[in-house]
């Protein structure tokens, strides 16, 4: 009687919650992309994990699922080695679905319930069960985590992870994997669970779609199993309706207005599937109806943003890749560094910080006693401020013990608030800042960029642009590491293969740096005046405008001086050419304020020129400004030109007549920066 009242009491508090933990990108951070399996059946597969209190939870779940639901359930429960399981017989009495003890190589079918046998590990592969005897080697990964990870890899968006009553934190790591590939995640309400350790640990990952009483989880599973999004065959053509395209663009506009993120840079099919997944949770099949929810519910808009950015990561994700990074790159780079040496790494799409911290831990282990004598800077960036706050806090759930070795837990973490907090030694080496890698100014003079599983979510044009930005940001011969399903194929002229197996690339010589077009999060206020194009065509079909555009682009790339455009708040909104001799990233929080980024020797003169150009509405020039770059004396002229007519909404800052001085004192003029006065 008490249990019934308790269940009813918590039912009213059932909720669907937002994933918080990326990614990202955007994005953020995801597992290695695995192609959808060839079998990809048109039904949902729910992996359900429990421990203490599991029998009651399993029974309640199955009672609430009708036998005709096109759904397969795979149940795992912690069982003692010598414990005989009568779970299949007991569960067979509460459902008319076929309940069987799992055996190796059995095909997974809908309307079946598969129960783990005692003293076993159960996973899936290619649509078949894989049942192996348990062993101490396999027990390093939890029984539930092992199943969840395999279901994520095999069924991807048709995978559902369900965590029920149980102690400890098994299932928390695996539930992140299911979320990363676009699957659904549900957890029993901790207040209802007999033992709430597993549910609370799963919720703490921030990757749970719904926290519900068990009976409502069953109802959700049955309803989702019949939703068109999950029941259609993968290769069945889906006609593109003009109205749907229009509604999709409206969704992107709402997201950009709320977050400043331009999702037009992302691959449309991926975004569409994740939007449809949110629609399924709301029992909707019409994009127009979902758009109405987004208009009136800011919380759902925020949930959708988190869903699209895929904020999922973990420490030392894909151990083989981290081992290769340590052995092939960091061990050589950090061997016998000079005192005072500086090493700069960048992790774009860092999500909640695990990958940046993993990189820092490996580097500190290699430097050992020399760490105090060098400067190690690791920049982690993401478009989500919420995930960055988690990264800066450095507090993680106890489930990270599945990914971090006991030795590293002892050295680099302290126990805190039921989990682990990253040590000051590691946190002080990492700087986290909000940045959209597709639009905001990048870092510079980097030794290494680790950007794994971000490019796969961007369209081809944006991939090319981002790879150009990475080339710009790296030092000569700096290294780039991508995810297992990514490559620099579209920009092979910028990078040479260093270790193909692990997607490691070395920057080719500086040569002609690619154009940097970086736009601030807010749309420009100054109107763009269109240039009239001639309708006259050449015999080869190209217009005179095309020839002129190509010529202008060549001349600008080859001969124009480094330059930036700033808005009326003096924030950089566009950059062209090699600006690194004049601009540098200050320590602390990342900024795009030109006065904070310009070299200190040039700051006073630039401030005066900006004030003069804005006050008089005409170009201002400051000549013969001296500064040093890597110990070499240089001289530069700065010119500030108001843009946007009399309103001067934006300002163009040019560097002209740059000279550096040879040891003899004879100035040498860099030929590519000569700028004639107009």
* Catalytic position from the list 31, 64, 78, 575: 78
481: CB partners within 8 A, 6+ apart = 321, 325, 329, 448, 449, 450, 451, 452, 502, 503, 504, 505
**Whether 6 contacts 191, CB under 8 Å:** yes
Give the integer Cα–Cα distance in Å for 473 and 567.
23
Q: Distance between CA 69 and CA 217 in Å, rounded? A: 14
Return the DSSP state at 512. S
| Cα–Cα distance measured from residue 412 to residue 428, given in angstroms and rounded to the nearest whole number | 12
Nearest to 187 by CA among 48, 59, 20: 48
Catalytic residue among 145, 154, 170, 209: 170
What lies within 8 Å, CB to CB, of 665 at 6+ separation is: none
| Catalytic entry in 51, 64, 384, 575 | 51
SS3 string, 175-201, reads HHHHHHCCCEEEEECCCCCCCCHHHHH
Burial (CB count within 10 angstroms: exposed 0-12, middle 13-18, buried 19+), residue 177: buried
DSSP 47-91: EEEE-TTHHHHHHHHHHTS-TT-SEEEEEEE---TTPPP-HHHHH
Q: In Å, how far are 259, 294, 348, 355 from 302, measured between CA atoms? A: 9, 9, 21, 24
Question: Which one-letter DSSP state was computed for residue 355?
Answer: H
The first and second tokens of residue 623, run together, are: 């000549």
What's the Cα-to-Cα distance from 390 to each of 386, 417, 454, 674, rounded to whole Å? Answer: 7, 14, 20, 47
**Helix, strand, or coil here: 333?**
helix
Known active-site residue 135: no
d(CA 176, CA 165): 18
SS3 282: coil
Closest among 24, 1, 14, 75 to 45, alpha carbons compared: 75
What is the enclosing helix (H) or strand (E) of 96?
Answer: none
Strand partners, 622: 638
**Other C-beta atoms lying within 10 Å of the C-beta of residue 565:** 21
Report CA-CA distances (Å) from 113 to 48, 74, 75, 99, 161.
10, 6, 7, 5, 15
Question: 51 catalytic, yes or no?
Answer: yes
**2 catalytic per annotation:** no
The residue whose two tokens read 């299949």 is 88
| Partners of 188 in the β-ladder | 212
Rounded CA separation 316/356 (Å): 10
113, 120, 107, 109: which is closest to 146 by C-alpha?
120
Give the angle 278-176-482 at the CA atoms, nearest 5°: 100
Active centre residues (catalytic)? 51, 78, 170
């Amino acid at each position: 009687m008490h249990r019934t009242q308790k269940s009813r009491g918590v039912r009213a508090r059932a909720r669907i919650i937002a994933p918080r933990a990326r990614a990202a990108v955007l994005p953020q951070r995801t597992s290695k992309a695995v192609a959808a399996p060839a079998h990809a059946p048109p039904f949902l597969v729910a992996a359900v994990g429990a421990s203490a209190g599991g029998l009651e939870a399993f029974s309640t779940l199955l009672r609430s699922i009708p036998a005709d639901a096109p759904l397969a359930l795979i149940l795992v429960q912690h069982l003692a080695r010598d414990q005989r399981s009568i779970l299949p017989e007991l569960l067979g009495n509460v459902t008319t679905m076929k309940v069987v003890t799992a055996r190796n190589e059995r095909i997974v079918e809908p309307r079946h319930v598969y129960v783990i046998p005692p003293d076993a590990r159960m996973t899936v592969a290619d649509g078949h069960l894989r049942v192996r005897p348990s062993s101490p080697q396999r027990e390093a990964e939890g029984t539930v985590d092992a199943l969840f990870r395999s279901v994520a890899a095999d069924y991807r968006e048709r995978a559902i992870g369900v965590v029920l009553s149980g102690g400890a934190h098994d299932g928390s790591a695996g539930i992140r994997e299911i979320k990363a590939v676009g699957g659904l995640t549900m957890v029993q309400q901790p207040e209802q669970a007999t033992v709430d350790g597993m549910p609370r640990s799963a919720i703490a990952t921030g990757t749970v779609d719904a926290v519900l009483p068990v009976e409502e989880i069953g109802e959700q599973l049955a309803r989702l199993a019949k939703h068109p999004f999950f029941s259609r065959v993968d290769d069945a053509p889906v006609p593109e309706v003009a109205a749907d395209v229009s509604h999709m663009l409206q969704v992107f506009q709402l997201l950009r207005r709320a977050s400043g993120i331009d999702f037009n840079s992302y691959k449309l099919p991926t975004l569409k599937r994740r939007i449809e997944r949110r629609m399924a949770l709301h029992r909707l099949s019409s994009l127009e109806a979902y758009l109405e929810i987004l208009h009136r519910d800011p919380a759902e808009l925020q949930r959708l943003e988190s869903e699209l950015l895929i904020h999922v990561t973990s420490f030392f994700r894909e151990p083989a890749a981290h081992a290769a990074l340590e052995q092939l790159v960091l061990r050589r780079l950090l061997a016998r560094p000079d005192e005072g040496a500086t090493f700069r790494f960048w992790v774009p799409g860092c999500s909640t910080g695990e990958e940046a911290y993993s990189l820092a831990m490996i580097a500190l282990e290699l430097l050992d006693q020399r760490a105090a004598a060098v400067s190690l800077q690791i920049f982690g960036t993401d478009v989500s401020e919420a995930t960055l706050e988690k990264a800066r806090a450095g507090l993680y759930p106890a489930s990270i013990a599945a990914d971090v070795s006991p030795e590293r837990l002892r050295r680099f973490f302290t126990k805190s608030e039921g989990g682990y907090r990253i040590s000051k030694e590691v946190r002080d080496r990492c700087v986290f800042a909000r940045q959209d890698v597709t639009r905001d100014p990048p870092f510079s003079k980097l030794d290494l960029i680790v950007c794994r599983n971000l490019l796969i979510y961007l369209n081809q044009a944006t991939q090319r642009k981002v790879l150009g930005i990475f080339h710009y940001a790296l030092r000569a011969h700096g290294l780039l590491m991508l995810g297992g399903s990514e490559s620099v194929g579209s920009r092979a002229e910028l990078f040479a293969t260093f270790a193909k197996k692990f997607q490691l690339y070395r920057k080719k010589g500086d040569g002609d740096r690619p154009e940097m077009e970086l736009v601030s999060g807010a749309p420009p206020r100054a109107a763009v005046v269109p240039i009239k194009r001639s309708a006259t065509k050449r015999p080869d079909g190209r217009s005179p405008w095309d020839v002129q555009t190509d010529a202008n682009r060549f001349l600008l790339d080859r001969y124009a001086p480094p330059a930036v455009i700033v808005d009326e708040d003096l924030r950089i909104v566009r950059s062209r050419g090699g600006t690194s001799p004049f601009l540098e990233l200050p320590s602390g929080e990342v900024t795009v304020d030109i006065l904070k980024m310009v070299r200190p020797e040039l700051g006073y003169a630039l401030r005066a020129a900006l004030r003069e150009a804005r006050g008089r509405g005409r170009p201002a020039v400051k000549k013969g400004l001296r500064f040093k770059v890597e110990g070499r004396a240089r001289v530069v002229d700065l010119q500030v030109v108001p843009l946007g007519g009399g309103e001067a909404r934006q300002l163009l800052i040019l560097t002209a007549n740059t000279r550096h001085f040879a040891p003899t004192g004879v100035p040498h003029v860099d030929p590519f920066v000569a700028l004639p006065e107009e």
